[in-house]
Each structure stands twice: as C-alpha cells, then as structure tokens.
Structure 1
Amino acid sequence: MITVLDLGNNNIKGLTDTNGPITFRSNLSRDYEAYPDGFNYVLLDGQYTYFEKGTFSKEYIKTNKDYKAQLLYGIAKMNDADLIDTNLTLLLPISEMEHKKKYEDELKNKQFKFTVKTTKKKDMAVNIKDVFVVPEGYASYFTLDDNTKASNVLVIDIGGRTTNSIQKN
C-alpha cells in the first residue's frame, strides 16, 4: 500500500492507492478528558491525543511538530484493517526540504502500535516500510494529464503558512 499525507498547518489531507481522500482539521488537544471515548483520538505510548479540538501548532517547521499521532490518525481514518503495511509519502514546503531526513529517520522501517478512535475504537499496528518526502507544489503536478504536463505549467500551492510554486516550460 502507498499512503500519502500532507500534515498541513490547518488541515491534514490524505489518500492511499485504494482509499481516500480524507481531510480533518489539524488542531489537537492533550488535555485530560474524563470520557476519552466521547472524542476521536490516538492513544500512543500512554498519551491521548484528541483531534479537531484544542489548538493549532504554532511551530513553523513541520518536521519539528509533534506529528506522529496526527499521521497515525490519518492512516487509521483511511483503513479499516487492524494491521497496515505501507510505504509513506509526506509533503513538505520547498523551503523545508532540507529537513526531510528527520521524517525518514523517525518513520522508515518503524512499527507503531496504538489505540485509535475514529468511527469506532480499535487497536492498530502500522508498519511503515519506506518514506518518500516530496515538495508540496510538486504533488499536484503528478495529477495532471500528459498533454498538460507537456505544455507550459505553473503550479501554485497556497498553504496555511507557506506558498510554493513550480514552473515547467
């Protein structure tokens, strides 16, 4: 399986080669909740992360954010299975591509076991085999048909905090 996720500042977007797309707000909370199952969450390493409530991260560099719970929640929202083996594609602003090794080092050939509640509560394991990091603007280019790709193309990605463009002549 191939999983593509954009861990955006305002929204998380994702799809797989068989499921998606999904979108959810990137705000989260780790505050105590008396009834955790009343919320959507990931329980990873003994810590609850609740989704689409709380605050948005103010960290500018995406790889410096505490992103693992969001990543696992996104994978869980796109898959019903309890065990997922996937290759992962993540997007970064062009100006942050120098930091892509952090994603690769922290995720490649790693297994994550956690409890998640999206529509229902379940225990999951996600095995990330490989990690491929691409600039955000380039991702849209690969969705274009061959005739458009052969012409002059300008792709502009207007994100929550960054704007990237690529031009192909």
Structure 2
Amino acid sequence: MANRAQYDVVMGYLETARAEGARVVTGGGRADRETGFYVAPTVLADVTPEMTVAREEIFGPVITVLRYRDVDEAVALANNTPFGLGGIVFSADEEEAQRVARRVDTGSVGINFFASNHAAPFGGRGDSGLGVEFGVEGLSAYLTYQSVHRRPRG
C-alpha cells in the first residue's frame, strides 16, 4: 500500500469481510515482508451482494467472488453498486463477452484482461472518479463551450 493509512483501510475491509461471513481462500493479512505496508493478495469467497466488500471500492489486492445463476444475474451483480470504475468480462466466446461488456455500467471494461489505453477516454461511473481523462474526451475539462445563435437572414 502507498502508506500506513491505506494499509489500515484495506486491513479493515478484510476484518469486516470475515465478520460478515466471507471466507478467505488465500491471503487475508499482511504479506511476508520485513518493511513497508504490504497486504497479501487476497481472494474472498462466499461473498454476498450485501457485504461491504461487495459494495465498496477497496483499492487493495483483494478479489471478491460472488455466485450467480446466469448472465443476467451476473450483470445485475456487477451493476449493483454506486461505483463503476472498471470491470472485466471473462468468456471463451468473444462476441458474447462483447455483448455482456456493453451491459456492464463501468467506465472501462476489459475482455479476458484489463489494461488502459491513453488514446481512449478513461473515467468511472457513479461515485468512481470525477470526469474523464485521456483521449479527446479528456480535453473537455479544459474547455469552455459556448453556443451562439442568430436568426437566419431572410
């Protein structure tokens, strides 16, 4: 983590996850390092949509696993949060993954991987971030738009 404060935040999320019934599959604590604020990469299973770790942005090496019955439920779970910075759709069928990606309400969606493209706009949805950066769209924050209207000469 960047500092002690963020380390404490992530460790607090892990403690809350356990208290709310999530199961730690791997990680779940401090990484084995002599110095620094390292959190072990963590996978949490048995997570439900009501749990804190399913509803908030953790900003740490933590993955939550939620069960779903079909694609519609998976999309509903993904969109059931006020945050929407980024997401990933995993599928062997790229066309189906593209259809699902269009339904996920996040600023960026990866198909079978995630990366940033500085030529494309980057921004979150909902409570994830303010505005957009990168790409032509990122310039909007530095522009002031004006519409001028006049009557056509007749």
Name the larger-Rg structure: 2
Higher relative contact order (CA 8 A, sep 6+): 1
Taking structure 2 as the reference length, what is the TM-score of the superposition? 0.29
